[in-house]
């Protein structure tokens, strides 16, 4: 089964307020449940989703959304190896921010070569291929 690392934005769109990207993001989660591919993530992805929802003052929604992400993904720790790789990625990939570097480093450290995300900041990461939600569903 194809393994893909999933960016926080996918869950934010799938579980959030009405947005044009909500339908495709929900279809991606459904396809993963059906076994078309397996979703993988850093524990930081779930923490980021939880943090984002809590910032909006939606405690119950935050817990529910984080629980969906916990159940849907194989999770990897944010450890010293991932942190070291993330620091190198920030230094060498100008378009990549700190949290995204953690996600990218998690993928690379754990042998996952594809990340599903709308964020083009991942495009310059050596060894990692970013695909959009729509590309993943079409493939």
CATH of the domain at 23: 3.40.50.1010
User: How confident is the model at residue 21, as a pLDDT?
Assistant: 87
User: How confident is the model at residue 46, as a pLDDT?
Assistant: 97
User: How confident is the model at residue 19, as a pLDDT?
Assistant: 84
User: How confident is the model at residue 72, as a pLDDT?
Assistant: 95
Parts of the chain with a pLDDT under 50: none
CA distance 54 to 19: 19
For residue 104, give its domain range.
Answer: 2-138
Residues 6+ apart with CB under 8 A from 29: 10, 11, 14, 39, 68, 72
As beta bridge partners, residue 115 has 5, 130
From residue 43, alpha-carbon distances to 22, 58, 138 in Å are 23, 20, 27
User: How confident is the model at residue 57, as a pLDDT?
Assistant: 84
User: How confident is the model at residue 116, as a pLDDT?
Assistant: 97
User: How confident is the model at residue 17, as a pLDDT?
Assistant: 79
User: How many domains is the chain built from?
Assistant: 1
pTM: 0.93
């Amino acid at each position: 089964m194809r393994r893909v690392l999933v960016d926080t934005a996918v869950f934010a769109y799938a579980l959030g307020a009405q947005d044009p990207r909500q339908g495709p993001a929900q279809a991606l989660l459904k396809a993963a449940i059906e076994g078309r591919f397996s979703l993988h993530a850093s524990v930081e992805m779930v923490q980021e989703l939880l943090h984002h929802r809590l910032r909006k003052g939606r405690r119950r929604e935050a817990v529910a959304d984080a629980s969906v992400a916990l159940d849907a993904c194989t999770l990897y720790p944010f450890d010293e190896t991932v942190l070291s790789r993330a620091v190198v990625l920030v230094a060498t990939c100008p378009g990549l921010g700190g949290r995204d570097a953690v996600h990218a480093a998690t993928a690379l450290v754990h042998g996952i070569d594809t990340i599903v995300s709308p964020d083009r900041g991942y495009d310059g990461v050596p060894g990692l291929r970013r695909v959009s939600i729509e590309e993943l569903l079409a493939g």
